[in-house]
Amino acid sequence: MGIRLNIYIFLVIMTTLRLHFVTAATSGDSCLTPSAMPGSCINLEECRYLYELVLDPNLSQNDRRYLRSSQCGYKNGKVLICCPPNYRKLSATTTPRPSPADTAMVFPESVALKTTATSISSGVNIKANNSQLLPNFPQCGNMLENRIYGGTETAIDEFPWLALFEYTNRNGGKGFHCGGVLINDRYVLTAAHCVFEKDIPFGWRLTSIRLGEWDTRTDPDCTADGCAPKYRSNSIERITTHPGYGKHNDPNDIALVRLTASVPFSDYIKPICLPRSPSLRNATFLNYVMDAAGWGKTEKTNNNPVKLKTTIKIKDFSGCVDKYSVLYNIPLESSQLCAGGDGGSDTCSGDSGGPLMFQDIVNGKPVYFAAGIVSFGPSLCGVADWPAIYTRVGAFIDWIERNIEP
């Protein structure tokens, strides 16, 4: 029986991880997982969660892709895997699935951030106001199996919470010039400068919001694997901008758009989670790598018809304060995040007003939440040593809860 089990494990490992063997790494080296979480390059058997996944006879295609992308070397006949600290002891087979009681809780404490996040003090009561109107995992922040690791074009159902803003001018012409993120069945979160009249080009107004969109040239959107439902065009009932926002580059660059009707969720339309627990709400995410996605639009330019994505690293905030205050005379506040500036990779691949997304582990499952909203940056995006600025969503949870309604 032992010999048969060892043969089974060997075959599963080889068929699951056969795609690529990178240069052999020294056991214990630092690495980044496919979801951009810091980890250590160790023997597969030492990473309990991923090792148990390999042994699962019903392993999903998504898990197989994740395991392939997690491989960081091959040493002494053994596979090395990039293992996050919490995966060493976490069980893939005994970790309980969310119970009905779990779904009534405010977003659970982050596993990844309990010991690593840099926080600022806060005495906020996260159960106040209309927090019950915001979804909790697993009703938010989860995707199907086919997330693409690497590359710039998204899968047809990847990041199903992204919203595309459609504007109309006085002559009836239409254009897509901003984005946002769905946070429940009636509200889209975005940047204030995308909906503030003085910031929108003269003669244009926001008239609808698309959900479930992927390629703006086709409807429905199709790939070799099949077609998605037609996108949903949503009318707007009300726009609420933060009262502290007055002009572009202001720190309170955040707004809520209420849709006229409730949005039915599907594999292609679902909300993202918000950072509502204390550790996530106050985190500054220094050196974390996050996802940004969208159609490459800003409030003044048009670029890509297909939804794109990129990864962006959070930078030291004090360095951004020095850059923007000295050269541009733009004051920054702790309610903002500073990210990117590595050259060639920035929110050119996303949308002004779109989300900066972080993947965390909740109850043993990957969950996405909105850490930031694209606010502003240098006139040329993707410029080396010039990070862009994002509204830090966690700083505005109270305001969001006060301004949403059933």
Helix axes 2-16, 48-55, angle to 10 degrees: 100
Catalytic residue among 250, 253, 291, 360: 253
133 three-state secondary structure? helix
CA distance 168 to 235: 13
* Helices vs. strands in the chain: H and E counts, helices first: 7, 19
Catalytic residue among 131, 193, 250, 360: 193
Is-catalytic flag, 352? yes
Is-catalytic flag, 351? no
Please give the backbone phi and psi of residue 153, each rounded to the nearest 5 degrees, phi first: -90, 135
Tokens of 147: 């997330």
Taking the CA atoms of the chain, what radius of gyration do you get in angstroms?
22
Please give the backbone phi and psi of residue 33, each rounded to the nearest 5 degrees, phi first: -75, 170
The single-letter DSSP state of residue 34 is T
Report CA 38 to chain centroid distance, whole Å: 16
Residues 6+ apart with CB under 8 A from 118: 283, 284, 285, 286
Q: Taking a C-beta distance cutoff of 8 angstroms, is the pair 81, 39 a contact?
A: no
Q: Point out which residues pair with 389 in neighbouring strands.
A: 338, 376
CA atoms within 13 A on the CB side of 42: 16
Is-catalytic flag, 253? yes
Tokens of 179: 């984005």
Catalytic residue among 35, 70, 352, 375: 352
CA distance 176 to 206: 9
Active site residues: 193, 253, 352
